[in-house]
Chain A
Amino acid sequence: MFKNYLVTAYKVLLRRKFFSFVNLFGIAITLAVLTVIVTMLQNYVKPIGAESRSPHFLAVRNVRLTNEERTSSSTWNAGYRFLERHVLNLETPDMIGFYSSGSEGTVFIDGTKLSPTVVRTDANFWKILDYEFISGRPIQADDETEGRTVAVLNESMQSEIFGDQDAVGRRFTLNGRPFEVVGVVEDEPEMRMHSSGEIWVPHSSTADQNYRNEWIGGFTALLYAEDPNRLPIIRDEFVDGLAYFEYDDPEQYQRVESTADTKFEMLVRDFMNSRFEEDSKAGLFLLAMFGAMIAFMFLPTINLINLNISRILERASEIGVRKAFGAPTTALVAQFLVENLVLSLLGGVIGFFLGVAFLNLIEASGLIAYANFEIDLVVFGAALFMMIIFGLISGVYPALKMARMHPVAALRRA
């Protein structure tokens, strides 16, 4: 029976080329846009590239110092002193690393200016993240303690500064100071929140060391655990420790607020503006995303419903005959639903590949530096799921309307 529905669906699809094209077009465009959005979001949070160990660590980034009355506050990323007092001394993580948010550096090559994103890191950062080294080595403990002016470049920076040659061991001038290249890593997409960057240097390689006195600075710490199940314990230890806050000037600030988050929570906090709340509102975020997608599908759905309804009369004779020869209403509803689902799924598959093509276009356009989207089966599955919902919603009403048609009327009107 089901096979017969499929055969009919296929035949209807081929016989009515214009309608099939219109339907497929609408569905495919809708799904392509959804695929692009979901893939981009998903690439933001999933453990890939240098962040492949992200399920094993929490990140501490946002810090807010306030007085008891909360009338005065200072907010940004963690400063080095905050790391020393509240992060580096934690006992539960197996490893703690940190890095500064990227700042724009200046390198002049033959009269042209490059503005690479420069990230300052410690040595552990390189053990927690998993960069793919093309040559050389990461920044090591003695680079950090001695404040050496050494740098790791990404592949693109290497070729921009040194042409095609291996840069390890060679020198270049960054912000007016000479640096030696010790390693070259593969490019990391701009949208990877922890691992993106173009040049990495030891945090201690700055001209002055005043940053060590700052509570608020540009740092993010990564708290690593071999066993991901221990992350909640680490989070508890970190949050508990915030109670023992003592500011240099106790008159000015009495409280500190901060959170230790997974990549996903971090993304959600930025979106939902819940940076210092205990609950990152991840559930609400997912709900909102889902709602937005449904809203986006509204117009294509109405469109498809309209087309399907206007076609009921074209098929009145078919409905009448099937009824006369004993098709129960349920069988007809099933038939039309299967037809619509086949159409939706076909459109979905086309849309998915269209979405992949769009993503390749975005990668090639350079709008997002070093973009390299990985499209996986989860997105494909989600796309398929959305299309099934789409097919059902746009099919149910017309199918019911069709199947409920009175056989006599159906035969007469044809």
Chain B
Amino acid sequence: MSEKYAVLPCNGLDKCAGQVAREIAQIVCENTENELICPVFYRVSDARYDKIAKENPLLVIDGCATRCASKLAGEKGLKIFRKVTVTEEAQKRGAPLAVAPLRLGAAELALGAELAAELVKAEADDASVDSGVVYPVPEEYIIHKKDKFIFRVPPEGFYFTENDCWVQPVGNRARIGITDFMQQSLSDIMFVTPPTVGATIDQFDEAGTLESGKAVFELVSPVSGKITAVNIPVLNAPELINENPYEKGWIAEIELTNFAEEQEFLLDAAGYLKVLKKKADEYHVGKKQG
């Protein structure tokens, strides 16, 4: 999913479950980039939280079955991405909170910490999982050698742009990334700015940037569509792109909107290989002259 969620807890101060909801929200926000929404303030002021709430997936934490936080989300016209109800979770664990005191004891804090950890993990899973689509890993690569460089091109299943980006469509989804040639031209990639999940882009629009010591490269999206996931591991470890830009080094997943037509403007492996050879020749000639 995206890099951050908006977290809306019930924050019920007169019930233990509400206190636990608040505790969970705080732990989750401390351990992620998520933004906390204060339900009390949100009720009286749309302006403060509307942008955060509408632009990010919403995580709702209700204390009890009164579901004040869910109801607030409903009133504000927000779509809930994930929710948890503390009393239900406590029940599942055989430790109902009904008679628990307002002040949180060790047991309540432990429950809060456990539920928060689950939510943080679920979020990490959202980020790395891409709709369950299985993208075949190339069994072999076409190799183009130029001096000491070896450039890989997957022989099938991928389409390319002349801007050294690729798309791997599977059904109505696709992954996008940069080619081995571009990866080597950039050298060690140090920073990746992914496209925004949920954003709709046109064919050849920018879909994030990659920064190395040499340059900032815009990923030119080979296809149009809606970004459905970004590859979170490469944000933390951009070297995955240098290692293999077609496999673990993919950048984003996109929901295709018009692939049949757009495919005409893309190159297959043989077509890209020609472009690559020419670029490799020019690049090296340029280097010698420069």
Instruction: Say if A and B assemble together.
Output: no
